Chains A and B, each alone.
Chain A
Amino acid sequence: MMTLSLLPVLPEMILLVAACAILLVDLFLPDARRHVGFWLTQLTLLVCAWVTLTTVELEPAYALHALVIDDMLSDLLKFFSYVAVSLMLFYSRGYLVARGLFRGETFVLTLFTLLGMMVMIAANSFLTLYLGLELQALSLYAMVAMHRTSNDATEAAMKYFVLGALASGMLLYGMSMVYGATGSLDINQVARTVLAGQGNRTILMFGLVFVVSGIAFKLGAAPYHMWVPDVYHGAPTAVTLLIGTAPKLAAFAFMLRLLAVALGGLEFDWQGMLMVLSLLSMILGNVIAIAQTNIKRMLAYSTIANMGFMLMGFLAANLNGYSAAMFYVVTYVLTSLASFGVIMLLSREGFEADRLEDFKGLNQRSPWWAFIMLLVMFSLAGIPPTVGFYAKFSVLEAAVNAGFTWLAVVAVLASLVGAFYYLRIVKLMYFDDPTDTSPIAARRDNRTLLSANGLALLLFGILPQPLMGLCVVALAQSGFL
């Protein structure tokens, strides 16, 4: 089972070396040539993607004394993370340039965030899980605060840091309880002990509560959601985009390893907890989103609601449910990328385009971007023929299949409330006249990728099988049956 091969951690190593190299190279770059760092970062992502895809393991492989696992699930989630980060950089280039943030630090911190996520995704021990989580979180705290002159950003970073540290503490405390009860940090070992019914049940439960709280915090599920709107709102949109996308993939993997594998024997206990989180998130997120006038805040509440939906699939606690949740996260990330991408496309120097009014009459200014945003909004609302419908469909199916029909009914009622605020954006874009008529300018690569991203929502909406099937295969190959 243990092997000395470092192949499973090759992408992480490449990324780490590349990040350090970019940091050094950046020192010698004049301001006019910052794009070298940008392209080096993109190249790193490309290489990592290539390595990850060419070393896909059909059977789980372990490395570094089983601290790290390399299975199809981790390969797939890593690949989606590269895509998300790469798109995030393309979309935010103009935005960063306009705000003086197009610098080496941005690229390096982004890569370190990604490294943290990759470690989380590939972790096979509590220690690695925590390590990855902290690496990701610390990089993000710094990134939120990077826009030094912005009061909002500084405030958001403080909130994020204080609350995030609290959550990490809770998580660590919970993990230590589980360690105390089972005597192991290895996820598979813990799973065996728990399944065998060994270990003090009270301590395990105690640990479980803290672990679930920590996870809920990282996901931004209600009632641990307080940081989400402030951070989404305060952070520069580029960073919001980063926070709102790839980390969700990592958090999903994190949850899968901790709850589904390590604490799989306590399934019935965490099901109930997740159910509460899911219900609260769906209802709170969707209802409060209605009152928002800032689109970033609105999307923050929408994230909370969406994580509630994802949890609904997860708590079915079987392959059907996990794959539904995974499909949900992946499509959510895809949709989220496009939504913030459009916001940044409309922004320019000194103008954030983050108020709802800024979307007024977009159809008259640019029918194409209005159409892309329309797809995003209907996808978030779960209206076919966009991919968001199949995401909601799968998690609803998982819930009904597991016998939680009532939960599915509450969920659809919550998404009805949600439909209202998504429709409002469409209303602003299509039914109102523009107040702002400045032309929408962006680099060609940004426009092409954002268009492809938007159309992908439609394409996967018409042919969802490949992506759905991929999620099932990856999970099944990784031993989630």
Chain B
Amino acid sequence: MHYLSLAIWVPIVAGLAVLAVGRDRDAAVARWIALIGALAGFLVTLPLWIHFELGTSDFQFAERVEWIPRFDIYYFLGVDGISLLFVLLNSLMTLLVVWAGWEVIQKRVAQYMAAFLIQSGLINGAFASLDAVLFYVFFESMLIPMYLIIGVWGGPNRVYAAIKFFLYTLVGSLLMLVAFIYLYNVSETFSILEWYSVPLSLNVQLLLFVAFFLAFSVKVPMWPVHTWLPDAHVEAPTGGSVVLAAITLKIGAYGFVRFILPILPDASRYLSGFVITLSLIAVVYIGFVALMQGDMKKLIAYSSISHMGFVTLGFFLFSQLGMEGGLMQMISHGFVSAAMFLCVGVMYDRMHSRLIADYGGVVNTMPKFAAFMMLFAMANAGLPATSGFVGEFLVILAAVKVNFWLGFLAGTTLILGAAYTLWMYKRVIFGAVANDHVAALTDISRREFWLLATLVALVLAMGIYPKPFVDVMHSSVADLLAHVAKSKL
């Protein structure tokens, strides 16, 4: 079975079906088709998890069909222990997002649902591509649905945010395209795997590094090219924020492990100090920035940047611990940031405000919700037994092994993360009921309850028993490190 092709095309076809059938008058039809499509999209990825063979770094479920012979481009798919997890994460998140937008979205429902479904297929494609052009096509075309999601269903300043999001991402990716073409001219192939063994001089590697780094660091986003993220998050509808934080940021980090580290090992080692510095700035400085935010979505956006700093930090320590820590952090952040944005969405739907100052004492009117959010806030702060702890702990451990002060600076996140998340939680949830609007709040509905409960289960499961995740990625990470260690000069 072509499970990967199914994972890509089932959501896209479902999205097109929603567009074709859904009418504004009859939104329920669009919702149900979208839900069925998203569920089917998730179900076809389960065999990937079940049949995935552990203990090998080979690419599995590979499909290779000639696509554009003019340039030796193949429709070449395959997943290893790293990309598999993101395909699963993405398909699950799409299901949750479709469900989360159920009653909230009233304007042009069919287009909303279709945008998310099509985007989901494109994202799966980016994670599963082993041909650079195929990857690029997916990587770029996923900008279109997100551009529309932010622009059509977003907040007051949505146009600015949407265009900024698009252009920022485009800068890097266009330079990456030139880098791809350069590598093709050197190696006569667009196969990413063959690029792992192409010899490149250090100067060439450094130039290619700049191109790749721009593309992926914007997407991660790393300091100082992160400024599009707070805007995009604040303006995007809840679903858009969830997908942005949980998935699209991961594609940036994924680009580091799939392209930069194995293709440019010497440049990566040469510039590791630079990347680590940027990562630490993200962790520490952006942590402080997050502390000062008055807008909940902005706060979580900055917290995302800070957490993603941990990911890139882990990657560039070049150790099994750091790499696995970074990857675990990516997955955990996928769950936790999605949950946090959903929580803000739950409050926003009722109050139409994201400002912390407008809230206070929510626990009095929404006790169930307060309990859920407590857990996610703890996970965001990296409390042991939640998923947030695993990745951070591994990365700090790896950092201390390299240099104590490195580990020390990285460790400040445990304090900063706890400070900004819990302080926000305290101001929003605890205290006396702040105003009449809060007093009129109703607790979460059944749909919202199960939505958040799913994420609670995942956050706790990964925090208590992370072994299945580590097992899946272990061999692939070892193989990746072997590539990084081997000079290509």
Contact = CB atoms under 8 A, between A and B. Distances in A.
Q: Do A and B make up one complex? A: yes
B143 A409 contact: no
Q: Describe B's contact surface by its main secondary structure.
A: helix
A393 B144 contact: no
A419 B151 contact: no
Interface stretch (B155-163, B377-385, B390-398): B155-163
A472 B20 CA distance: 37
B174 A393 contact: no
Contacts of A390: 68
A457 to B, nearest CB: 13
A465 B68 contact: yes
A390 B167 CA distance: 19
A385 interface: yes
Contacts, number: 87
A391 B174 CA distance: 14
B178 A405 contact: yes
Contact of A400 (B141, B171, B174, B182): B182
Contacts of A367: 111
B69 interface: yes
Interface residues of B, number: 34
Interface string A368-395: 0000001000100001110001100110
B181 A384 contact: no
B147 A408 contact: no
A412 B175 contact: yes
B69 A469 contact: yes
Interface in B50-102: 67-71
A212 interface: no
Interface stretch (B132-140, B265-273, B300-308, B361-369): B132-140
Interface size for chain A: under 10, 10 to 19, 20 to 34, or 35 or more residues?
35 or more
A370 to B, nearest CB: 10
Nearest to A390: B68
B174 A413 contact: yes
B321 interface: no
A431 interface: yes
Contacts of A401: 181, 185
Contacts of B175: 409, 412
Contact of B148 (A384, A385, A430): A430
A397 interface: yes
Contacts of A378: 144
16 contacts: A384-B141, A393-B71, A393-B177, A401-B181, A408-B178, A408-B181, A409-B178, A413-B174, A416-B167, A419-B167, A424-B163, A426-B148, A427-B163, A430-B152, A431-B152, A465-B69
A176 B167 CA distance: 48
A29 B152 CA distance: 51
Contact of B71 (A397, A405, A409): A397
B355 interface: no
A464 interface: yes
Given A383-B143, A383-B144, A412-B174, A423 B70 contact: no
B372 interface: no
A337 interface: no
Contact of A420 (B141, B163, B174, B184): B163
B71 A416 contact: no
B137 A385 contact: yes
Contacts of A315: none
Contacts of B166: 419, 423
A412 B178 contact: yes
Interface in A164-184: none
A396 B170 contact: no
A472 B136 CA distance: 24
Interface string A402-445: 00010011001101100110011011001100000000000000
B162 A396 contact: no
A307 interface: no
Contact of B140 (A363, A374, A383, A405): A383
Given A408-B181, A468-B70, A389 B137 contact: yes
Given A426-B147, A468-B68, A468-B70, A384 B136 contact: yes
B94 to A, nearest CB: 19
B170 A469 contact: no
Given A385-B137, A464-B68, A416 B170 contact: yes
Interface centre among B68, B70, B140, B184 (most CB of A within 10 A): B70
A264 B163 CA distance: 44
Contact of B174 (A415, A430, A469): A415
Nearest to A386: B141
Given A383-B140, A420-B163, A472-B70, A405 B158 contact: no
Contacts of B140: 383-384, 389
Interface string B206-242: 0000000000000000000000000000000000000
B151 A430 contact: yes
A405 to B, nearest CB: 6
B69 A431 contact: no
A108 to B, nearest CB: 40
Given A383-B143, A384-B140, A420-B163, A400 B70 contact: no
Contacts of A400: 178, 181-182, 185
* 4 nearest A-B pairs in the assembled complex, by CB-CB distance: A412-B174, A384-B137, A431-B151, A468-B70
A405 B182 contact: yes
A423 B148 CA distance: 10
Given A385-B137, A419-B170, A431-B151, A412 B177 contact: yes
A427 B68 CA distance: 32
B303 to A, nearest CB: 28
Contact of B163 (A389, A423, A464): A423
Nearest to B66: A465
A416 B171 contact: yes
A393 B133 contact: yes
Contacts of A468: 68, 70
Given A396-B181, A400-B178, A401-B185, A383 B167 contact: no
Given A412-B174, A413-B174, A469 B70 contact: yes
A37 B237 CA distance: 54
B113 to A, nearest CB: 14
Contacts of A416: 167, 170-171, 174
Contacts of B69: 465, 469
Nearest to A402: B185
Contacts of B137: 384-385, 389
A420 B68 CA distance: 29
Nearest to A408: B178
A176 B247 CA distance: 63
Interface string B281-316: 000000000000000000000000000000000000
Contacts of B151: 427, 430-431
B20 to A, nearest CB: 11
Contacts of B70: 465, 468-469, 472
Given A408-B178, A412-B175, A416-B167, A385 B141 contact: yes
A45 B148 CA distance: 40
